[in-house]
Amino acid sequence: MKHMLRSSLAWMLLGGTLLAGCGGLQDMWEGPGAQSFRPSSIAVLPPVVGSFDESREPAQEVVTNALKKSARYTQVLAPDEVNGFLAASNEAREALTSYLSGLETAGVSDKGAAAKLAQALKADALMVVKVTSWEYTRSEGDKVAKVGLGLRLIDPKQGGIVWKARHTNAKSYMFFKPNLKDIAADLSEDMIKYIP
């Protein structure tokens, strides 16, 4: 009886340890070519922000910084390079609008538009950012600072989504509001670790 109790206790501890160690993202998917896709340069496109307009610049900046910090790519285009180019070119802006529209409404990556954008930006890969949450809210009576992001890594040569993930970070607070950009920076770094 003592042996069974000790054995059961050991299994419960092991199970608890394994569960505690299982972090991960809320949602993640890898495409068939994900393991062999090794771009040297990447551009983070202006984010899809929905009603979270104030998140546009900080979200693009933190994802760009997280990609730089990861040291996966030889070159990560700065947001002002990407946005400056898009502002100067009607054709590139139209390609971006068309591309993001197709991605959001049908979930399909338009190969032609992706190739145009990547060629114009001189990037081997594109990162599409979607802000799903960027707010101070209440949850079960607690004040909460909440940031949610969706990331999609695009191979512009094939035109497809290679990897995508979605996750949310929330911090409760009493008096001092946590900075949403800081939460987004931590979230971006955590998510990018999962890129194959």
Give the model confidence (pLDDT) of 18-59 as tens digits: 333 346 899 999 998 899 999 999 999 999 999 999 999 999
Angle between helices 56-70 and 180-192 (to 10 degrees): 40
Residue 95 makes CB contacts below 8 A (sequence gap 6+) with 113, 116, 117, 120
In 27-155, which ranges are E strands?
27-30, 41-44, 75-76, 125-139, 142-155
Dihedral of alpha carbons 115, 34, 128, 99, sign: positive
What pLDDT sits at residue 14?
Answer: 36
Query: What gap in Å lies between CA 120 and CA 84, rounded to an integer?
Result: 12
Beta strand 75-76 with 125-139 is unpaired
> What pLDDT is recorded for position 32?
87
5-22 burial string, b = 16+ CB within 10 Å, else e?
Answer: eeeeeeeeeeeeeeeeee
Tell me what pLDDT residue 24 has: 86
User: What pLDDT sits at residue 33?
Assistant: 86
Q: How many CB atoms lie within 10 A of CB 193?
A: 12
Residue ranges for the chain with pLDDT beneath 70: 1-23
Alpha-carbon distance 77 to 63, whole Å? 11
C-alpha distances (whole Å) from 73 to each of 64, 85, 125, 160 are: 11, 21, 10, 19
Number of CB atoms found within 10 A of residue 105's CB: 8
Task: Assign domain 26-192 one CATH number from 3.30.70.20, 3.30.70.100, 3.30.360.10, 3.40.50.10610.
Answer: 3.40.50.10610
Residue-level pLDDT at 23: 63
Phi/psi of residue 181, nearest 5 degrees: -65, -35
